[in-house]
Amino acid sequence: MSQEKKEQTLPEGITQAMIDEAKVKYGANKVKFVDIMNEDGNAVELTVLAIVPSRTVTGQYRRYSETDPKKADDLLVKACLLSHKEQVMADDALVYGALNGIASLIPIRNGIVKNC
């Protein structure tokens, strides 16, 4: 696929250069698109570029989640959004949509406990 064709299919406000830079900085498997749905949930309102939360970011989020939920939510969104940050932070619905998408990126695995 040509470079020009890739750029034409990217969401508005996200460039191939942004994606490439993020993949170099955070790792190719850590960079994701998050679609934020509209109020009715039947169409994408905004697609943002985000990264999978690191253990450090997740730890900070969990630290404040009980005592200051707004601070925790803002911390997670601001730390993981790579595009449209100002637009998202200016709209509560977009913040919660981004938060939901980013929170689902937190890598959680199940452990199986066995007797020795």
Q: What is the pLDDT along the chain (116 residues), one digit of tens a residue?
A: 445 445 468 999 999 999 999 999 999 999 999 999 998 888 999 999 999 999 999 999 999 999 999 999 999 999 999 999 999 999 999 999 999 999 999 988 899 999 98
What is the CATH number that goes with domain 3-103?
A: 3.30.2220.10
Cβ–Cβ < 8 Å for 114, 83: no
Domain range summary for the chain, segments of one domain joined by + = 3-103
